[in-house]
Structure 1
């Protein structure tokens, strides 16, 4: 039974139309706050590309893993299952499920999945990443048991019959990683909209052509006709550029041509935009240069930044580990095996490997010095 199948698209979709407004839309919580503010965070990632890029970087940097079975006899069978298990409609492998699970965890503060069993053999048919906004979590009979209920599209709610098949995790407090960013993102979008409007007005050059009739009676008498002729010739000269032609504008009399807005300067938005981006990136805990922002004179990640990023990724790994183990243990139970699973994560990057190698070398040198001192004392 798939609890999280997507609803078919309705004939009219005002929500989709509303999501395609101008970039100056205000990111505010709705009056009735829905759990995890799912729609708000979806629009936030859609409107601010740097937020979406930071989340995708975190997912990729979390790294790969290997599931180890305590009983070596089932190791190969476990790896074959985890490497080929269907995930949703298009995905495959436990890695694909973990990536989608972590994406939901970071964006909404919680993530939910389902272990789908086949009807006849009672084997695991696949994994499903659920819509966390439709799940309600409550305490069960004892403080450590969970009860899940799912909200249908018509607003009705029903209790899930098999909570043991549900995979659920949440960040500390259940708050999204993006919590606190909507107001700053709204300011950033308004700045970008103003930049676009300024370039429409000043960057897209417009001209003011002014004809001043002389004091002669003939000029004053035919000023209207001459102004219209000047306007036609000017428009013809401007439009000729579309066809690769160059035409000069020649006029007789007092004709003044000015660029509209040439005396005005565009506002320097580097400082406010950078201040807002610094706040966004500080919340996302990603070094700026990983997102293509060269704010520092050095391109090498400092050891402090590496330690901070590593600690963040280790935290997300601790949240994913029990979920992945639950999937592996469920498979072992379905085939009658009594083993248990544990996770071995890959090193986050080569810098960690070099640091670990250097630390092992220093420890070996320290032990060697200690042994020499002990021999000298004896």
Structure 2
């Protein structure tokens, strides 16, 4: 159905792929820090994947049903990054990049007058900056410098909470390096303590009062003690005289880690916006508190959908125009949870019942009680 097609297909290439020469773009170290946070703190990595999955799927709605059906087939089968298929795969990677680094860049790959693929660009190959007070540009990093993309109308870019006067977004992990460092230090200390407790060291003390060859006796005791501790099985240690054996560090008090670990986790959870019970944290919370946290999560996901929706609209409108359809299209997001379906049904019922009460009240009689459970 595409137009501008030629008899011979051209090679498919992307314009956001940088050179292989080693370069150091702006904020490369900061992005490396965010990757390290996800690798070393599992709860951060789990929370980001939870947000990506909870944002849900979508449908593209068009006034022309024929265009809507063809667009739906395209969104389900379009190649993504050479490995996957479907716009859902593209938007998941795009959203994950947006949360982790604060910016996300993608590309609509066009060849022979039709969209051949969707591509998630690596931020290491790009530089994003303002070209005017009201326009941002994506520049490809080359070994000789940076150059603008040749077809900027095919570039998809988003920024998460960018500061005024900047095109660089703010990562959701921006304020977590210090908190994560403290948490990892606590875990590292716990590991060292448990390693020492599992590999106990002993202090063997012998009093050599009245013995002429005290050095020889101490050497014999050390040899016998080493022999007794060397094998994996149980062995007897026999000594003559006043000998005391004490575990090194047995008098030391083990520090409680529950309170500081929970304080650090609370900071991380508060920043990521994911309720603790979704991350497997069994903190004391009532069902009412969990319901309120779920409502807050719904608001967070709705805000993220507002950032992603222009990207999806641009993909859909580009495909519709290239295939000769009107570019009128809307994005219909799936409900976040089944509880939302029940809440919406109850809200619709209550509104209808209110209207019925007003109508029946004027007529002098009330409707029967009932409701959606």
TM-score band (shorter)? 0.7 to 0.9
Shift, 1:36, TM fit: 9.0
Counterpart pick for 1:255 among 243, 246, 250: 243
1:259-338 equivalence runs, <5 A? 259-298=247-286, 302-338=290-326
Quick check: 1:149 aligned with 2:139?
yes
Range 104-113 or range 182-191, more displaced: 182-191
Shift, 1:202, TM fit: 4.4
Provide the alpha-carbon RMSD of the alignment.
2.5
TM-score by length of 1: 0.84
Range 337-346 or range 258-267, more displaced: 337-346
Quick check: 1:136 aligned with 2:131?
no
Counterpart pick for 1:69 among 59, 62, 68: 62
Take 1:117 and 1:91, find their aligned partners in 2: how far apart are those partners?
17
Q: Does structure 2 conserve the Cα–Cα contact (< 8 Å) formed by 1:86 and 1:92?
A: yes
Counterpart pick for 2:175 among 172, 180, 200: 180
Shift, 1:346, TM fit: 0.9
Change (3 A) 1:289 1:172: same
Take 1:246 and 1:203, find their aligned partners in 2: how far apart are those partners?
16
Quick check: 1:196 aligned with 2:191?
yes
Q: Which residue is 2:217 aligned to?
A: 226
Quick check: 1:340 aligned with 2:328?
yes
Q: Which residue is 1:26 aligned to?
A: none
Take 1:182 and 1:73, find their aligned partners in 2: how far apart are those partners?
51
Shift, 1:145, TM fit: 4.8
Q: Which residue is 1:126 aligned to?
A: 117
Change (3 A) 1:238 1:316: same
Shift, 1:297, TM fit: 4.4
Shift, 1:300, TM fit: 7.0
Secondary structure of the equivalent of 2:344? Answer: helix
Change (3 A) 1:41 1:263: same
- In the alignment, structure 2 segments of 5+ residues that lack a partner are 1-12, 163-168, 366-373
- In the alignment, structure 1 segments of 5+ residues that lack a partner are 16-31
Secondary structure of the equivalent of 1:52? Answer: helix
Take 1:294 and 1:300, find their aligned partners in 2: how far apart are those partners?
15
Quick check: 1:169 aligned with 2:158?
yes
Q: Does structure 2 conserve the Cα–Cα contact (< 8 Å) formed by 1:201 and 1:261?
A: no
Secondary structure of the equivalent of 1:351? Answer: helix
Secondary structure of the equivalent of 2:282? Answer: coil
1:68-87 equivalence runs, <5 A? 68-87=61-80
Change (3 A) 1:165 1:212: same
Q: Which residue is 1:238 aligned to?
A: 229
